[in-house]
Homo-oligomer: A and B are copies of this chain.
Amino acid sequence: MTDSQNPLSKPHLTTRRVHPENQETPIHFIETDEISHHLFFKRNHFSYPTLPHSDYRLAIQGFVETPRLLSLQDLARLPPQTAKVVLECAGDKRSLFEPKVFGEQWDKGAISQGHWKGVSLRTILEFAGIRKGAKEVVVEGYDYGERPDSEHFYSYMRSLPIEKALHPDTLIAYEYNNQPLPFKHGYPLRLIVPQWYAMASVKWIKQITVIDSTFIGPYQSNDYVYFPHKEHNEGAKPVTNINVNSTIQTPLNLDILSTGTHVIKGIAWTGKGHITNIEISTDHGQTWSKAIFKKQEKPDYGWVSWSFIWTILEEGEFTIMSKATDSYYQVQPVTPFWNRKGYGYNAVDQIKVKIE
């Protein structure tokens, strides 16, 4: 009978796929500014990797003056840096595209945030000495496997343009929320690329290679590319910055509510810049009113939480929408930008409720 004292289950992630393990966070569990790693969405391309049993060393090599091998102890001695960063899967909200798009059917919960602590990638690159003419920095994870479109094995690896790699907030993280990185989220070291979709934040870093050319690999030229057309590749462009976006967390879509006063709640976020305005419509977009949120005095890379008080005395069906604007005047569009692989969905968020 102990169960009846504390009857609700602990929240758990929703499983989209067992192998590889892909799980998202039910949006009603995103209740704080700092999500526990137990509730952090998991997006894997392959099985979890096997890490070297001992003697982990981070290699910094390629187009540098002095290739380096750094132990975790070496990294711990370098000046630490912490940033609150949203990680959003580029496929977050993919299931909302019409026509439907193939691939993991993420709902609205492939997003999370918390405090990442580590060393600026710039510090490490400068320690190795970047040679003049360096163009990109390739980061390879320990995870690897086959792809359905090929018989070759691939490691998960991607490059960053040198400017992004040198941004002081691009981190080699070793802690999440004051604890060592959990294995499933990249232990011992994970790249954290603020402002970009999370495919850039490579987990389980194996090595870092500076190059003087343009890196080409399936996770950059095949996946994580916006292909605006179904049948051909014209207009393709890489997925990079997070689009301005918002999600209604309460009420749930297709909820049945009573007449009276309800609090509509949610989050809003963007890549470059910060959120400057959030508007809510309860009449299917005919009229809009401002939601309440705390303006960030010193904007960080996190989301903002917003709320809106709604008093509704008539019965019927209502469409509620949320629309965020950022400091670069980017606004969520009414119609999503459809693309063949289903990345970057950021249309105005929309739910329907029935008042009884």
Which residues of A pack against B, CB within 8 Å? 1, 3-4, 7-9, 11-19, 21, 23, 26, 28-29, 42, 47-51, 53, 100-103, 105, 148-149, 182-184, 187, 252-258, 317, 352-354, 356
Interchain CB contact under 8 A, A50 and B255: no
With A14-B14, A148-B258 known, 5 other A-B pairs at CB within 8 A are: A7-B48, A8-B48, A9-B23, A102-B353, A105-B253
A206 to B168, CA, bound (A): 64
The reply to whether A18 and B7 form a contact with Cβ atoms under 8 Å apart is no
**Which residues of B lie under 8 Å from residue A252 when comparing CB positions?**
16-17, 105
With A and B bound together, what is the CA distance between A103 and B101 in angstroms? Answer: 26
CA distance A1 to B15 in the complex (A): 23
A-B residue pairs in contact (CB < 8 Å), sample of 7:
A4-B50, A11-B15, A12-B12, A102-B254, A105-B254, A148-B356, A149-B356
Residue of B nearest to A9 (CB): B21
Give chain B residues whose Cβ lies under 8 Å from the Cβ of A255.
Answer: 102
Q: Does more than half of chain A's interface fall in helix, strand or loop, or is it mixed? A: loop
Given that A103-B256, A148-B258 are known contacts, is A183 also in contact with B4, CB under 8 Å in the complex?
Answer: yes
Residue contact B184 to A3, C-beta cutoff 8 Å: yes
Given A3-B183, A28-B18, residue A257 in contact with residue B148 (CB < 8 A): yes
Docked complex Cα distance between A19 and B28 (Å)? 11
Q: Which residue in chain B gives the minimum CB-CB distance to A23?
A: B9
Question: Closest CB-CB distance, A148 to chain B, in whole Å?
Answer: 5
Q: Contact check, A8 vs B3: say whether CB atoms are below 8 A apart.
A: no
Q: Chain B contacts of A317 at CB under 8 A?
A: 102
Residue of B nearest to A317 (CB): B102
Whole-angstrom distance from the CB of A319 to the nearest CB of chain B? 11
Option from B11, B13, B29, B258 in Cβ contact (under 8 Å) with A149: B258
A282 CB to nearest B CB, Å:
16
